[in-house]
Amino acid sequence: MLQQAREILKDSFGYHTFRDQQEEIIQTVLSSQDTLVLMPTGGGKSICFQIPALLSNGLTVVISPLISLMKDQVEALRANGINAAFYNSSLSEIEEREIESDVLSGGIKLLYLSPEKLISSTNSWLSNAKISLVAVDEAHCVSMWGHDFRPEYAQLKEFRERLSDVPFVALTATADKTTRKDIIKQIGLKQPKVFISSFNRENLSLEVRANVPKKQKIKEIRNFIGDRINESGIIYCLSRKGADEMAQDLKGYGYNAASYHAGLAANKRAKVQENFINDKTNIICATIAFGMGIDKSNVRWVIHNNLPKNIEGYYQEIGRAGRDGLPSITILYYNLRDLMVLKRFAEGGAKSEVYIDKLYRMLNYAEATSCRRKILLSYFSEHLPENCGNCDVCKNPPTFFDGKIIAQKALSACHRTKQKIGTNMMINILRGSANQDIYQRGFQNIKTYGIGKDVSFKDWQHYSTQLLNQGVFEIAYDESFTLKITEYGRSVLFEDGAIQLTIPTDKPIKQKGGKKASKKKLSPDEELFEVLREVRRGIAVKEKVPAYIIFHDATLKEMASEKPTNQLDMLAVQGISVIKYDKYGKTFINAIEEFNQSKLNTVEATHELYKKGLTVDEICFTRELKQETIFSHLCKLYFDGEEVDIQQFITQAEQAAVIKAHKKIQDFTSLKPYFDFLDSKLPYYKIRVGLTLLAKKAK
């Protein structure tokens, strides 16, 4: 069955290997076990139920809260030749009857349903369908502890009970530990196997800018966009008025922007979103209260004009950038007025204490002086051992010191009170406070009482924030906001776990930005990428689908780098399935060949410089090409029989490693499986050289 899954991955979706955990998740789902999947945006959640759907005999029902997301995913599946449909309030009565008929006749493998339509259909036509799998997408919506609770999701448990023998898979990109437990309870998952993929989106840069005056902020945003005039981006605003004003300002400067929020008429909102998806509008200014619900893969940047209301929402919103894995930028602007407005929204409602506490965790992130990626990951119970190097704090680091003793004092206070206290109580214990609550609970008698009285309350708050942000503690929202010691925290308290903290300071981190980047000359690969984008745009307009439905930017980037000119090489590019090659392959091959003919033959140009005795680095410099490209030229020349010595670029031990990997992988075309198999120990160019030597010998 797994072999069939791998074949479907390659033939139907165009990918040669599964991503982290996908294969194990698919195996679990196929064994009819309930499953909970936590995987970051862009991590490949959909594959985890789409491939089991194609391997099953019945219908897979996918419950999704967003009409636009359903439409996107169904279009993407149909583009790969897969029978899928959506069933929601956007359909006419005639369209509904057609889909019902197709489902009951077995003509549809995946049916995307809104929760409202699921409720109304369960006791009617849907009860006659042969359902083999149910996938609950955006599963955090079922939980009151989640950041985007939907009341209609509350009836999913009843649907689960009706289909007691059918496996359910719940999927989400954003859920802390409390929300995960609640998802299992609210849906009624039966002893589910839980998969938590890494939440680390390394391709996203993280930056926060505090208390920037409004005029300066607008100027910085204009300059930022001006350097990325052809890129897609989203600006999240706190209010509808703010979104409208931002869009108007940008349009006044000639930028292609539009606002998008719940205050717009439904047809206007749909048109704005359609234009954004189809690259007719580059910039969307949206309220943070309104989910975009899109699967657009080429969003290159996300800006928050105001403080988000919680980390889950913020993580999901920045996750809309760089879904294709290419480098993307995220910037968060905030000031204390944002905090006051959001706090006022949260007060007085249900679970207000939870929402206010999560808001302050968001503020802690914004004010942090330690690696921001560590903070995001620790919120989702993931520990990053090293600083990321791709956030503003890492790029402009504050002063650090060995914080183990400070951390141990705080951990000891929490441990000796049996992890039943919150942050303020912990600080009061450490400072030896004589307040009534401490004496009523007998905390003045523990050994840690007063051990930190030499540190001010404000400085203890600074350290406590960092201890939370770095994953030493986590907050149990469902246990009166008490602090819990994590596995990492236990290693700091009882073992040799190390921790670095920053010295408290009232000085803000020095911010960069607002400066226009100088224009750079495009490399040949970048030129070809732009050519291929135009080809893709033409096809998308003709077929009336979003451009990324044809191919993602990442696929075009690889195509521009590898320059395939035949079917075998084209199918080796990630994201090109057999069906998509049949539909579009020759069109793109023709574009690549025309591009090559318009310039000096790139391989021959490399050959001429090699024959003159230039080194690889010198050829790279002369031709303004990447090292990987030059090595691909040299390997091609060697394979074609030219006198090129590629053996010099790889040792015997490295060649042996490639041969060993090839016995397992049995593929000469794709380098990524070898890179993963060899635990990233060999660079791509050495893998290419090793495979070329092996292929030439076998020729």
Output the pLDDT for position 185.
92
Residue 6 amino acid letter: R
Tell me if 597 is assigned to some domain.
no
Q: Which two tokens stand for residue 134?
A: 């149910």
What average pLDDT does this structure show over 635-642?
Answer: 91
pLDDT-wise least confident of 236-240, 288-292, 622-626: 288-292
CA 242 – CA 377 distance, rounded (Å) = 30
Q: Write the pLDDT tens digit of every residue in 94-139.
A: 999 999 999 999 999 999 998 888 888 888 898 899 999 999 998 8
Q: Write the pLDDT tens digit of every residue in 395-426.
A: 988 888 999 999 999 999 999 999 999 999 99
Output the pLDDT for position 146.
60
Same domain, 188 and 209: no
- In the predicted model, is pLDDT for residue 302 greater than 80? yes
Output the pLDDT for position 316.
86
Question: In the chain, how many domains are there?
Answer: 3
Mean pLDDT of the chain: 88
Same domain, 408 and 390: no
Same domain, 175 and 108: yes
Strands (E), 110-244: 110-113, 131-136, 168-172, 193-196, 204-210, 232-237
Domain stop point among 502, 526, 555? 502
- In the predicted model, is pLDDT for residue 462 greater than 60? yes
Q: Residue with structure tokens 């226009």?
A: 516
CA 285 – CA 261 distance, rounded (Å) = 8
Q: Residue with structure tokens 């096809």?
A: 539
State which residues form the domain around 416.
Answer: 400-502
Output the pLDDT for position 511.
36
Output the pLDDT for position 512.
38
State what percent of residues in the chain have pLDDT above 90: 53
Output the pLDDT for position 507.
42
Q: Write the pLDDT tens digit of every residue in 356-388.
A: 888 988 988 998 888 999 999 988 888 888 999
Same domain, 155 and 27: yes
pLDDT-wise least confident of 141-150, 179-188, 200-209, 235-244: 141-150
Domain stop point among 483, 502, 521? 502
* CATH code, domain with 426: 1.10.10.10
CA 37 – CA 135 distance, rounded (Å) = 10
Output the pLDDT for position 29.
94
Q: Where are the alpha helices (DSSP H) in 231-368?
A: 240-252, 266-277, 311-318, 336-346, 352-366
Same domain, 169 and 219: no
Confidence at 472, pLDDT banded by 50, 70, 90:
very high
Output the pLDDT for position 502.
85
Domain stop point among 502, 528, 558? 502
Residues 363/208, Cβ–Cβ less than 8 Å: no
pLDDT-wise least confident of 397-401, 557-561, 599-603: 599-603
- For every residue of 623-678, which 3-state class applies, written as one string? HCCCHHHHHHHHHHHHHCCCCCCCHHHCCHHHHHHHHHHHHHHCCCCCCHHHHHHC
CA 419 – CA 653 distance, rounded (Å) = 52
Output the pLDDT for position 518.
42
Tell me if 512 is assigned to some domain.
no
Same domain, 27 and 156: yes
Confidence at 338, pLDDT banded by 50, 70, 90:
confident
Same domain, 6 and 63: yes
Same domain, 243 and 354: yes
Q: Write the pLDDT tens digit of every residue in 507-525.
A: 433 333 333 334 456 778 8
pLDDT-wise least confident of 377-386, 569-578, 608-617: 377-386
Tell me if 523 is assigned to some domain.
no
Same domain, 245 and 360: yes
Confidence at 290, pLDDT banded by 50, 70, 90:
low
What average pLDDT does this structure show over 166-189?
Answer: 89
State what percent of residues in the chain have pLDDT above 70: 95
Per-residue burial over 154-170, b = 16 or more CB atoms within 10 Å of its CB, e = otherwise: bebeebbeeeeebbbbb
Output the pLDDT for position 510.
37
Nearest to 305 by CA among 328, 335, 329: 335
Tell me if 695 is assigned to some domain.
no
Nearest to 112 by CA among 84, 89, 90: 84
Same domain, 312 and 374: yes
Tell me if 451 is assigned to some domain.
yes
The conformation of residue 391, written as its DSSP 8-state character, comes to: B
What average pLDDT does this structure show over 216-244?
Answer: 92
Confidence at 672, pLDDT banded by 50, 70, 90:
confident
pLDDT-wise least confident of 65-74, 288-297, 527-536: 288-297
Same domain, 170 and 68: yes
CA angle 380, 383, 384 (to 5 degrees): 120
CA 426 – CA 419 distance, rounded (Å) = 10
